[in-house]
Chains A and B, each alone.
Chain A
Amino acid sequence: MAKTKKEASMKRNRIIDTIWSNGLLIILALVWIIPIVWVILASFSTQTEFMTDSVFPKEYTIDNYVRLFTETDYPIWIGNTALIAVTNTVLTTLFTVLTAYALSRFRFKMRKLFMNITLILGMFPGFMSMVAVYFIFNMMGLIDSIWGLLVYYVAGAGLGFFVCKGYFDTIPKDIDEAIHMDGAPHIVAFIRVYLPLIMPIIIYTALLAFMAPWADYILAGILLSDTNRTVAVGLYEWMDEYHINSYFTLFAAGSTLVAIPITALYISLQRFFVEGISAGAVKG
């Protein structure tokens, strides 16, 4: 009798647990999903004002998307950003991995110095030097050119090697010796042996390099002119107090279009991303 009572109470506890856990998770999921659903639906709204009398639009149209490509500079922005992002992915990943490889696998005189300087540079607020960067780009004639922006991103590639180097460090040293026995030069070892081994971190680095131009507001805002923008700068302006009321649905459409491919990319590469952030977090 006592036993069944205890079982019953355990079962009841279990049911309560199931209900509140699932309930809480569903509420949380709603908190995360509603804003996203809202902006996607708003991008199909017939009402072009930000101020509406209902949360979700009542009638739907694809007009906003048509306007986005016919009446605004959005195609230029997205073309610019995509071009920078793809090129940046290739070059930044290459240089980051090369730097990490050199610092992890070679022992040379200036190595510690180089790493310490990098560390100190990372502690300065990033755009403290923007005025000077602007001036140097002006000197080089790279103002208002997306190539200038790209040069700046790629130039910083060598400074972001820490996570990648940490990953290299975990690869046993025996591999080096085995390669040397074969008499293969280091570059061959790098390409044939190391690159496949560090594939997860390469994908992680590439993903971050691809994302950076989409999120960069500061430098893109300073270097590019009004007609030759990137997505982040352009969409930001549509959301300021002067533009928001007439541009909001366009903003919603533009954001949705940008977000879909990037989100898909993220979700498909989620595994590598987790591996990368875990490696970075645990190794400090």
Chain B
Amino acid sequence: MSASAVLPDGRICRYSLRERVVHWIAGISYLYLLLTGLAFWSPWLFWLATLFGGGTVSRELHPWAGLVFVIAVGFMYGLWANQMHTTQTDREFWRALPHYVRNEDEEVPPADRFNGGQKVLFWGFFWCGIFLLLSGLILWFPPLIPWSLRYFRYAAVIIHPVAALLTIGLFIIHVYMGTALERGSCHSMVRGDVSAGWARKFHPAWYDRLMRAPH
């Protein structure tokens, strides 16, 4: 079943199998990166490394998980970048943010397949992913950076945690909204489908477009 198709039982396919697989590869690798990264971040969280085989194993595998994550984000770019351009509706979405926060969704301009917040999440992870990759490559191989290029190491040790902290902010909001807040979202990313009512309420412009399209 492909995305944006109406299913025989009246439900709507929101995420194709390919989109869901890529999402969960990114999600699971991110979770590993987050927990091992937090272990290296603070002595008070170093015990997290114990859960993943200790500090040495975590240090060896963290960069490989990072590669998996970055490749998954690259696939997401291919899948979604053309749907993530900021539109007039997105600008109005940000102006209507207080309504959105107070769950007054009827006051929010009708979103297409992705709303303004989802687009910021996407570009946030995309750009932070690039910075994490570049700084992470330097941190992966410190002996290969000669003393004369040590300023790259100095830059990497500050860029990596700053970019990681930004993604943690996005991640907290994303997980909260995808599970607890917006009911039906998590199911859509697991099985792919949403109810017509869900689509009408949270992505009205997308829903209208689907209903107008011949199928």
Do A and B pair up? The answer is no
Q: Which residues of B contact A (CB under 8 A)?
A: none
